[in-house]
Structure 1
Amino acid sequence: MRTSLATALTLALSLGSVALAQTKPNRYTTTGIEVPVTPEMTGAGAVSSGVTLPKPPPVTGSRAKPVAHWGKPLPYPIVIADRRNNRLIEVTPDKRIVWEFASPNLKVYRGNEDVNFSADGLQLAVSEEDNFDIHLVDYENKAITWTYGIPDHRGSGPNLLNYPDDAHLLADGKVITADIRNCRILVIDPKTQEIATQFGTTGKCEHKPPQLLAHPNGATPMENGDLLFTEISGSWISRVTREGVVKWSVRAPNVRYPSDAFPTVDGKQIIVADFSKPGRVVIFDPATGKATWEYFVKEGEGMLDHSSIARELPHTGDILVVDDLNDRVIVIDRQTRQIIWQYGEKNKKGHTPGLLNYPDGVDLDVFRDWKAAAK
């Protein structure tokens, strides 16, 4: 028999893993549509690498003033959303596991597919598409501190989502998420559990931002507070202010299925992964709509299989890519277009050190000096 939501939350609280008391409780005003849980959605279950983890160093850096970098091939440690292992895992450039958040309860936390640090580096915003919820996770205490959405229930009413992709904790304390199948992007206030701002019209899926959105799967905050929307249908990328003013809207060139566009380090261009097979990474200039750099390999070891995230790395200019269905995260040299760093083995699923199971999201830990801590 399937565990009820109330039972699952009670169990999670008893384990001390879901600190819902720290925020206003979710108001389950509607139940939505219950979705059957398949073995694929459960993945490997609640697993851990088994590594003895060191104590994290304190936060001494920020995105504006990051800690000392490691240089090539990977300048900073990365937190990976290891989706089908139902965990977050932090890996250093020398491939040590230094931090891990394993699922405290598969009903409440399962299938984490995107992860992004808060501006202060203390929290992680996590989205779970096929668990229909988003979370905030306290990095130091390894605890879920807030949730929006009802696990295993899809819908569009209060506290309901339908395939939420991407989540960020904004500088003002609100959380943004792209609610794909409801064709909307939501800015939610965790203090009230209310939707503060909605872009797009629920259930109307076409491209006319900000009133209408065509299956958005990315809502990335930019340095000045603007938002970068990614829409699957039509491969549209748009820059929109918090007030809903569209600064530009262009199609990503040579991309069939855009996934979570990001600005380049200088903020002038856009980098986006193509969630296809073979996958692709494109950097383009929104002023012209033309590609300025591209990675595309049709076969062999370098071929991407449904790449979901691409980021330009600071200091090196190389490209960090989550290669989902190849079970790896890689760094591609900007000049040679060769893979120069890899965590995970292509087509080998696992949860022990060196292995991943459908990784789907990544962010850089520029906040903690793990390099100095290792010494």
Structure 2
Amino acid sequence: MFRALLLALAAATAPTPAQKLGFPPVKPGPVPGYVMVADRNNNRIILLSPAKKIVWQKDGLHDPDDAFFTPGYRSISTNEEYNQTMALIGVRSRRIEWSYGHADVRGSSSGYLSNPDDAYLLRNGLMQVADIQNCRVVWVNRAKRIVRTIGHAGDCAHDPPRSLSSPNGDTPLPDGGVLVTEIGGWVDRIDAHGRLVYTVRTPTSYPSDAQLLANGDILVAGFNTPGRVDEITPKGRIVWTYQPSGEWSLDRPSLAVRWPNGMIAITDDWHHRVLVVDPRTKKVVWSYGHLNQPGRSLGFLNKPDGLDLLPGVPAGVKAARKTLVQVRRIGSLPQALSKASAVVLPDGRLMVLGGETAGVSTDQVLVGPPQRLRPAGRLPTPTHDAAAAFVGGGALLFGGGQAVASSAVVRVGTSGGARNAGKLDEPLSDLGAAVLGGKAYLVGGYTGVKFASAIQRYDGGGRTTTVARLPAGTRYAGVAPVGDTIVVAGGITPAGTSSAVYAVNPATHAVRRAATLPAPEAHAGMAALDGSLYLVGGRDVLRISGGRVSMAARLPVALTDPAVVALGGRIVAIGGGTNGVYAFTPR
């Protein structure tokens, strides 16, 4: 037993691959290490910290199309697809230590490649690469001799393993096999002996760099405009898709990989950025680069075509999860609802205003105890992503909108009757609201043109006074009052999803960083109870108290954009994409 204890202790304290290379350890979060990016049109490979600092860089390359850490993380394998070469680069030396191919010369004979893609160094010392225009996957030894191929130059028909249709991916598998991606719309699993296990049609005609998941499914990027990422079964059934529109849409993504923490990292090549997506919520939780803005300075990329992870979270470090309070479902809504607003009425009833159901805004007003919410009235106009506050004997609903942001202010009586009560200075959606000293304050949001940073006191009749500003425009944050301050947790900023928690004092106009969430968070609701704040989103409820953040409870289902209030000594969450009402009593 003592020996087992020593082994366990050694495992918990063993340095991470990042630490072995001299980089500091990383806290648990959406990026569990350092992100290596093949920044193709900038002719470089860079290594990014979770804080988006460049901590390592290799310049002077020629269109590096991919980059992967080799076994042991001492070197990097890369291919220069349009320079017809592949190489190994020492991490510490930053020098090319081995290469194969002739620069800018295509060929199929020994020593030549034609559009090489996805070069990997295997544990047996062989270099493996998809040779696209030669319609083959080749294995090359350190003496630069081809020792094995699947497919061959001159035959580009889809008939694996005899012939391949322009393979652009050749992911090594734990069993010694390879997962081949063929332009034209196929993924082939081939075993260590060169036998076909299966071939499957992909959802798009231009799949790129398919990856085998632990459950046996396949994660594959669609190199199309608009782009997409799919998880498919070996029989071709789609079980998950990421294909958003708007700000986080994809344009010719070439690689999607699932990290050990479950996040999915994507190279959004032609949008010049790398994204990290939470597959449960399909929300971007980390990004680097700027939409449609190629560049080389800090924060910018130019056609990033490959990525890999240098693990940096120590094995013994895990998110604190004590025995958690379980959140119970206590009621049902008429239909699934998200992006609604809610207030507590003086008699202890709950009022839920607007929201989105089946992708469409609703004008519904629900009133009642949390267990029995019933329709009580209608808003003048359907809306979602608004914010509500109970002041002056009634509820005020601010902004929101449908296809565009709204400037409307609506007063709703305790019986559910609603009427227009003015207009804000400018449209505002995705905002938060809090009540201090009998006054409503509006926090952040989106004007339809830009992210809003203002904390505004509502003075009535549509008039507002700006009392403070957040460090950056912020939308979809958790907002709640505690004491004499308004707390703003997470949210989406122009730089990406935030993990910052800010305390705003409207009386002194002061804004200070009060805490840091374990990971960037948005689309979560927040309420205060007994001096602590509870941020509800995904499957977790976080407690924010005295500058510390801890896990408070676990939800039975993942919630996105729930309305959250404190009522009767409990935290109550409404909707969040479900038709449920959920509650728990904090310990």
After TM superposition, the score normalised by the length of structure 1 is 0.76
The 3 A distance-change label for structure 1 pair 249 and 90 is same
Query: In structure 1, what residue type is equivalent to 2:148?
Result: T
CA displacement at 1:282 relative to structure 2: 0.3
1:90 matched residue in structure 2: 47
Deviation string, structure 1 residues 81-104 (Cα, Å, up to 9, x no partner): 00011000000111111111111x
The alignment status of 1:126 with 2:88, answered yes or no, reads no
Matches within 5 A, 1:274-293: 274-286=222-234, 288-293=235-240
The alignment status of 1:145 with 2:97, answered yes or no, reads yes
**SS at the partner of 2:20?**
coil
Aligned with 1:175 (options 99, 106, 127)? 127
The alignment status of 1:318 with 2:263, answered yes or no, reads yes
Aligned with 1:353 (options 284, 298, 319)? 298
CA displacement at 1:257 relative to structure 2: 0.7
1:365 matched residue in structure 2: 310
CA distance in structure 1 between the partners assigned to 2:27 and 2:249 by the alignment: 27
1:331 matched residue in structure 2: 276
CA distance in structure 2 between the partners assigned to 1:83 and 1:227 by the alignment: 25
2:242 matched residue in structure 1: 295
1:41 matched residue in structure 2: none
CA displacement at 1:221 relative to structure 2: 0.5
**SS at the partner of 2:133?**
helix
- The answer (yes or no) to whether the contact 2:34–2:312 under 8 Å persists in 1 is no
- The answer (yes or no) to whether the contact 1:57–1:368 under 8 Å persists in 2 is no
2:468 matched residue in structure 1: none
Range 321-330 or range 332-341, more displaced: 332-341
CA displacement at 1:367 relative to structure 2: 6.6
Segments of 5+ residues of structure 1 without an aligned counterpart are 1-55, 62-66, 104-108
The alignment status of 1:247 with 2:197, answered yes or no, reads yes
CA distance in structure 2 between the partners assigned to 1:306 and 1:110 by the alignment: 21
* Runs of 4+ in structure 1 over 6 Å off: none
Matches within 5 A, 1:32-71: 57-59=19-21, 70-71=27-28
The 3 A distance-change label for structure 1 pair 68 and 356 is same
**SS at the partner of 2:275?**
strand
The alignment status of 1:222 with 2:173, answered yes or no, reads yes
- The answer (yes or no) to whether the contact 1:70–1:93 under 8 Å persists in 2 is no
CA distance in structure 1 between the partners assigned to 2:257 and 2:188 by the alignment: 17
1:236 matched residue in structure 2: 186
Deviation string, structure 1 residues 216-274 (Cα, Å, up to 9, x no partner): 000110122211100012x111111232111111112x22210000112x252110100
1:64 matched residue in structure 2: none
The alignment status of 1:341 with 2:286, answered yes or no, reads yes
Query: In structure 1, what residue type is equivalent to 2:270?
Result: L
**SS at the partner of 1:243?**
coil
The alignment status of 1:262 with 2:247, answered yes or no, reads no
Deviation string, structure 1 residues 170-189 (Cα, Å, up to 9, x no partner): 01000000000110110000
CA distance in structure 1 between the partners assigned to 2:175 and 2:26 by the alignment: 24
- The answer (yes or no) to whether the contact 1:309–1:360 under 8 Å persists in 2 is yes
CA displacement at 1:162 relative to structure 2: 0.8
Query: In structure 2, what residue type is equivalent to 1:358?
Result: K
**SS at the partner of 2:248?**
coil
The alignment status of 1:159 with 2:111, answered yes or no, reads yes
2:469 matched residue in structure 1: none
CA displacement at 1:60 relative to structure 2: 9.7
2:561 matched residue in structure 1: none
- The answer (yes or no) to whether the contact 1:179–1:217 under 8 Å persists in 2 is yes
Aligned residues: 298
Query: In structure 1, what residue type is equivalent to 2:41?
Result: R
1:38 matched residue in structure 2: none
The 3 A distance-change label for structure 1 pair 136 and 214 is same
**SS at the partner of 2:280?**
coil
Matches within 5 A, 1:3-14: none
1:72 matched residue in structure 2: 29
- The answer (yes or no) to whether the contact 1:60–1:367 under 8 Å persists in 2 is no
CA distance in structure 2 between the partners assigned to 1:171 and 1:60 by the alignment: 23
- The answer (yes or no) to whether the contact 1:59–1:368 under 8 Å persists in 2 is no
CA distance in structure 1 between the partners assigned to 2:281 and 2:19 by the alignment: 35
The 3 A distance-change label for structure 1 pair 68 and 251 is farther
- The answer (yes or no) to whether the contact 2:290–2:300 under 8 Å persists in 1 is yes
Query: In structure 2, what residue type is equivalent to 1:247?
Result: V
Aligned with 2:147 (options 166, 190, 196)? 196
- Structure 1 or 2: larger strand share? 2
Query: In structure 2, what residue type is equivalent to 1:365?
Result: L
Flag the structure with larger Rg: 2
1 or 2 for the larger relative contact order (CA 8 Å, sep ≥6)? 1
CA distance in structure 2 between the partners assigned to 1:342 and 1:99 by the alignment: 18
